Structure 1
Amino acid sequence: MIGLDSPIETVLGDQATKRKKIVEGLGLRTVGDLLRHFPRRYVKTGELTKVAELEDGQMLTIVGQITRSKVNTYTDRRTGRTAYRLDTVVSTDGPSLKMTFFAKSQHVGEWHARRLPVGRRGIFVGKVSSFRQEWQLTNPQMALFGPDDAGDESAQATLDAIGDLYPIYPLTKGVDSWDLQRAITFARTVLDELPELLPDAVREQYAVVDARQALDWIHAPDDYAQVGAAHKRYRFEEALVTQLVLMRRRRATQALGARARTGDQGRLLEAFDQRLPFELTRGQAEIGAELEHDLAQPHPMNRLLQGEVGSGKTLVALRAMLRTVDSGGQAALLAPTEVLAQQHHRSISALLGDLAAGGMLGGSEDATTVALLTGSMAKAQRAEAMLRIASGEAGIVIGTHALLEEKVSFADLGLVVVDEQHRFGVEQRAALTSKAGAPPHVLVMTATPIPRTVAMTVFGDLETSTLTELPAGRAPIQTNVVPLAEQPAWIARVWERVREEVGKGHQAYVVCPRITGDELEQGETDQRDLDEDGNETAAPAGSLAAVEDVVAELSEGPLHGLRVAMLHGKLPPDEKDRTMRAFAAGEIDVLVSTTVIEVGVDVANATAMVLLDADRFGVSQLHQLRGRVGRGGHPGLCLLVSRAEVGTPARERLDAVASTTDGFELSRVDLEQRREGDVLGASQSGFRSSLQTLRVLRDEKTILAARAAAEDLLDRDPDLLESPLLGAAVESLEQSRQSDFMEKS
């Protein structure tokens, strides 16, 4: 019996070399893997292929027709003997291509001619090249239409099961499309049983075809309507399994008992609100009320708070932390970097004033203590902070990964706030929440705006709140691309603009993609664009701007006389903190930095930012970095310096950032260019994306339909006992690494 779990060798025949290339090159190990290896496109067999402009080295798959076929003789220079070749021309609905077949003897040349007479049509696959102003198809593979006793039987056999569309599969070197097509056709024929995951009622309600029909139509369709119906089935199935995983997780979380944090044991939040020198925005007030309601429930809050750079997420989170302290509990804020943790500690302590001086002279009677814990603190400092945390004296605890260490314990951890959630993995959130006696309430924050369908697909186990308005005092930011490929002299004007801003009493950031010539900031990834041959289309790595080099160049050159300093992750912690404090105090004019200033850094007097080799940053990252300026009521200026050429993906990214400050629009651009897994955080999983056929932007309607179907199924059958195959698929996804990717903590 042959089933989906059968080894792929059972349907690949006796060609050991081909088998090895398919298994190793394409990662297909079972019959199920093979059948889920879907075509990437289709060629119409009933008409000549429309071909636009050709390019040297381009791989072409076409339906063409022989318009010239003639055997010619020539002298073989190696042997001096007469040899034969068949010169043919195959026409398309566009350019024609020359094909040449060599033969040592006349009868082989004539065999080629009989196989390729004028008028014969077929599918031709080969690499295009130009020779003497003629386009050629080099070493073509082909499957010819019509009776062909002399043809390639293995290739010709692939035509038997083809309708009006011929499938083109993702390939690997040494494997032809018909190798896969023949194996897939045979597998479909001998497969004993194809499991049907979707209940009949669901398929009927959402108009999706059954599993067998979808399989036949995806691999051997008669028309594009059948292709569309098959895709709809597979995307709906994947969306439904994904939504069931997320909804079961959400319901399981809600079923857990948690301590309600009603704020009935203190007046810290009330005192803080009375001292605020400004009014909360409407969004901050509304989301604050949502958080207070969630905290008061006897089950854990599990909420995502997203919002634009500078929208006031930290203030919203702080008020939730104060509510938790008023309930007799502690709140922990987990930050991804020491720079950000220290910044949070300073800004929260400053906002609270004497409300952060619990147990100290001059402290308010309602006060608590704000503790900081990072990996670089001196042993005595760490011991003191850990004692305050363990005793409960510290109501608010701010820290980096150091908070996750086994030795750190809490008296009563009631709320966990994770800042910049995409920097942390699933295990890290679990390590912190496990330090609570009862399941704590959880709030995760991101300044990377997330489209609705992404939130539903990747964060579907979280309730989502979105801050859309910016607080008063945020000034507009002008963003311009500085195209050094076309205008290399413009770099001088960049530094003049920096001098002008400093001359007005302001400060500037200069951001580089590297620390030294070959060293990235820890945890950073390099946004590179490659051509079809894997070559970089922008500057090679060794020539990228590096902090240490740029500081020296600017100090001795265009910014000579200004106070220029550097900041990056390799500096000693006390030096990083000292530098940030000096910049915040106005003692540094220009801060040359890596992306350690991407989040949380708030210097109101900084009005200009220059991003060198800006094409090496992603769209959302550029938007985050830009948000560091214009924070003090002064108009901001952001200059994106790049050697990326017009028309390249890198330049398109930069132009998109320059054209809008709408983070949600930019997040869509980012997703469309880079795929979901790259944008949402590679740290969550070892692979690019957990999604196979589903795309969260393109398939919004499918995801919404699958979400509704998942709710109905779980309402009627929480354990999916009536749909055992679907339940098994959900269980498999829950236990896989893909589930880790989706949890996105």
Structure 2
Amino acid sequence: MDPFQTPIVYLKGVGQARAEVLKKELALANFEDLLRHFPFRYIDRTRYYKVKDIQADLPYVQVLARVVNKQVIGEKHTKRLVVQTRDDTGTLELVWFKGINWIEKTIIPGQVYIIFGKPGFFNGQAQMAHPEMEIYNPGNTQRQGNATLQPVYNSTEKLKQFQLDSKGIQKLTASLLELHAKDIKENLPLYVINQFKLIGRAEAYRNIHFPADANLLNEAIQRLKFEELFLLQLKLLRNKLLHTQKFRGNVFGTVGHYFNDFYHHKLPFALTTAQKRVLKEIRQDTQRGVQMNRLLQGDVGSGKTVVALMSMLIAVDNGFQTCIMAPTEILASQHYQTITSLVGDDFIEVALLTGSTKQKARRVLHERLESGDLKILIGTHALIEDKVQFKNLGFVVIDEQHRFGVEQRSKLWRKNSVPPHVLVMTATPIPRTLAMTLYGDLDVSVIDELPAGRKPIQTLHFFENQRLRVFGFMKKEIALGRQIYIVYPLIQESEKLDLKNLEDGIAVMSREFPLPDYRISIVHGKLKAADKEFEMQRFIKGETQIMVATTVIEVGVNVPNASVMIIENAERFGLSQLHQLRGRVGRGADQSYCILMSSHKLSHDGKIRLDTMVKTNNGFEISEIDLQLRGPGNIEGTQQSGVLDLKLANLATDQELLIRIRKFVELIFEKDPQLALPENQILHHSFQTKNAGLSWDKIS
């Protein structure tokens, strides 16, 4: 048995009560969990400070000084031990308020001590309360004064009640390493270790917890960071390889009537080079006899839906049915309207299935689906209900797939004896490193150019005191026949405040843009669905010129005549949300604008977000900056993925390393797909066993 899977209760010094609190507070259940509970910082005990160099803002300092005097001052509550120490630059005063009698007996005047603690100043005098002290012995060849980088571990108030502060956890970790460092097995082949100049695994674990020096600490972090990313990419690429071996796919050998007729007679604009490239990639995938599993990334308005439709028409040409699953009714309806407007009434039947579809319409839809007459079905989660039966489902499009669980997606696959080809689409541009990690087992296509004739949206940042200029600009745009969105933030913790903001905004707009010259639509999450739809339709039909809304309009609203997006309190939005909102305009041929309104009080990150929006329209650039600001765990869709349990690697700062690792792992599988060569036995073995470190079951 792997000793690192031993429950933590069996580690000396733990016991039942401590084991329970460690599991509850830090999710440390076994030896492996403790081994991978890494320090979050280190106290530098490798250097000695001179008294004159001590500053109050230093976290901890270590001083070599001689005790010149000691005395107990005060009585009862004010009683304290004060010890004067000196080096050749000044005096350092040490103070104790507890354990006075015992400590006073142990301190020897005239003796030189290694003194360690948090510095402060009292009446201009350098001072340290309750320091650690050790007699300095220059003749001792053993390490003194714990002269290392001392680890500091995360703890909690509850753990401290069980003497499991950072020091307590440090003791347990030291005990574990003393007993089991010899059992930390290597899990990377020698050729990988040599290629990337890595230290050994056991050495890395010893030095990340108790580094002998800063260089060894950096080498330990690099080794364990590499291991995380390498094992993750090995797992993802192996899954991708197994997928191609396990799941055969229908061969789409024909490009026939539906595709050609649409392309030559119905497509209202020329495809961009990027759209053509992606269609070619999908075409090649669907001819290989293996189930396609492809991610299509494209910025807002880049034309993903057209690519999806044309791919679906190839499926129909080959005798198959197709479907699009979207996470919300608004988005499903948007796809339905877009596709029906493109194909027209007499070309091919397209149906919409959502929770709102009436029972009578459902019965007809189910019959036509089972008979095979209905070729294109668009819907929400309703598509995966058991009663929705296809005759021959061959191509599935999943929009914004991070909003669906794995089980929901796989239910669609099971609706045909041969799994349908899968195209996953997202309008949230994903940084390259995140895509390689979250979607590392998918092939990735990118539409990185906008359709011809689209003008880039101009983004401007205005402060509150410039609002009259904004009103004047709005009136000019409305006079030109354009429409305007005004969006207020909706932050769940403060819905009352946000609704008040919206109501105040409506009052201001109503005064500034009065009837009968101007009409305003109002949309927010508190409205009933029917009222929301009524207000949306008024705006879509051009009956109102201004839509005042919360973020419910972030996706699924397409009004080509809307040319201005005003975002109030823009500093309260994340970058990706600002970018999605901006994408609601710029859908027609007119020049469009996004105006970011904010207060003068901006945080550092808030300023970077607004400056980024003004500087670029490129969603991929924006996503990279978002990753750096927020970290991968906070980007939409990544938390529930289960993949990003990275303790040391950082996808924002370790991009170069991840790309190198990905290419290297691809070469390993090209040369040895089964990991059968002698030098790869260690990797093959890693799939079979739980090893101390990143267990395979944690990244499945």
Please give the TM-score of this superposition, normalised by the length of structure 1: 0.81
Distance 1:147 1:553, change over 3 A: farther
Counterpart selection for 1:438 from 396, 405, 418: 418
1:60 corresponding residue in structure 2: 59
Q: Distance in 2 between matches of 1:598 and 1:132?
A: 58
Counterpart selection for 2:646 from 686, 691, 696: 691
1:511 corresponding residue in structure 2: 487
Contact kept in structure 2, 1:73 and 1:85, CA below 8 Å: yes
How much does 1:643 deviate?
4.6
Contact kept in structure 1, 2:113 and 2:133, CA below 8 Å: no
Distance 1:77 1:190, change over 3 A: closer
Secondary structure of residue in 2 paired with 1:681:
coil
Q: Distance in 2 between matches of 1:275 and 1:407?
A: 34
Secondary structure of residue in 2 paired with 1:267:
helix
How much does 1:371 deviate?
0.5
2:191 corresponding residue in structure 1: 201
Q: Distance in 1 between matches of 2:187 and 2:696?
A: 18
2:686 corresponding residue in structure 1: 726
- The one-letter code of the counterpart of 1:41 is R
Contact kept in structure 1, 2:315 and 2:394, CA below 8 Å: yes
Secondary structure of residue in 1 paired with 2:59:
strand
Distance 1:350 1:16, change over 3 A: closer
- The one-letter code of the counterpart of 2:239 is R
Counterpart selection for 1:124 from 93, 117, 123: 117
2:152 corresponding residue in structure 1: 168
- The one-letter code of the counterpart of 2:8 is I
How much does 1:36 deviate?
1.3
The aligned runs of 1:321-400 (5 Å cut-off) are 321-353=312-344, 357=345, 363=346, 367-400=347-380
Residues 146-202 of structure 1: per-residue CA shift (max 9 Å, x gap): 369xxxxxxxxx987955422233333324433232222221111151222223333
2:173 corresponding residue in structure 1: 184
Counterpart selection for 1:101 from 92, 96, 102: 96
Secondary structure of residue in 2 paired with 1:435:
coil
Residues 545-585 of structure 1: per-residue CA shift (max 9 Å, x gap): 56863564345434433322233455444444443333222
1:153 corresponding residue in structure 2: none
1:219 corresponding residue in structure 2: 209
CA RMSD of aligned residues (A): 3.8
Distance 1:384 1:99, change over 3 A: farther
How much does 1:472 deviate?
1.9
How much does 1:15 deviate?
8.5
Residues 3-52 of structure 1: per-residue CA shift (max 9 Å, x gap): 21223344452688766654433322222222212222333323257999
Residues 410-452 of structure 1: per-residue CA shift (max 9 Å, x gap): 1211111111222222222112222123111111111222222
Q: Distance in 1 between matches of 2:55 and 2:186?
A: 44
Contact kept in structure 2, 1:161 and 1:185, CA below 8 Å: no
How much does 1:623 deviate?
0.9
1:315 corresponding residue in structure 2: 306
Q: Distance in 2 between matches of 1:564 and 1:134?
A: 68
Secondary structure of residue in 1 paired with 2:681:
coil
Contact kept in structure 2, 1:42 and 1:165, CA below 8 Å: yes
Contact kept in structure 2, 1:242 and 1:730, CA below 8 Å: no
| Structure 2 spans left out of the alignment, 5+ residues | none
Secondary structure of residue in 1 paired with 2:222:
helix
2:20 is the alignment partner of 1:40: no
2:82 is the alignment partner of 1:86: yes
Contact kept in structure 2, 1:339 and 1:577, CA below 8 Å: no
- The one-letter code of the counterpart of 2:44 is K
Secondary structure of residue in 1 paired with 2:396:
strand
2:528 is the alignment partner of 1:544: no
Contact kept in structure 1, 2:46 and 2:147, CA below 8 Å: no
- The one-letter code of the counterpart of 2:41 is R
| Structure 1 spans left out of the alignment, 5+ residues | 149-157, 358-362, 521-525, 527-539, 740-745
Distance 1:314 1:89, change over 3 A: farther
Distance 1:495 1:673, change over 3 A: same
Q: Distance in 1 between matches of 2:355 and 2:260?
A: 30
2:661 is the alignment partner of 1:706: yes
Counterpart selection for 1:235 from 220, 225, 236: 225
Contact kept in structure 2, 1:305 and 1:466, CA below 8 Å: yes
How much does 1:496 deviate?
4.6
- The one-letter code of the counterpart of 1:45 is R
- The one-letter code of the counterpart of 2:117 is F
Identity level (%) = 34
Secondary structure of residue in 2 paired with 1:609:
strand
Distance 1:543 1:460, change over 3 A: same
Q: Distance in 1 between matches of 2:134 and 2:255?
A: 81
Q: Distance in 1 between matches of 2:690 and 2:31?
A: 21
Secondary structure of residue in 2 paired with 1:4:
helix
2:560 is the alignment partner of 1:604: yes
Aligned residues: 679
Distance 1:221 1:440, change over 3 A: same
Q: Distance in 1 between matches of 2:66 and 2:616?
A: 53
Secondary structure of residue in 1 paired with 2:197:
coil
Distance 1:23 1:649, change over 3 A: same
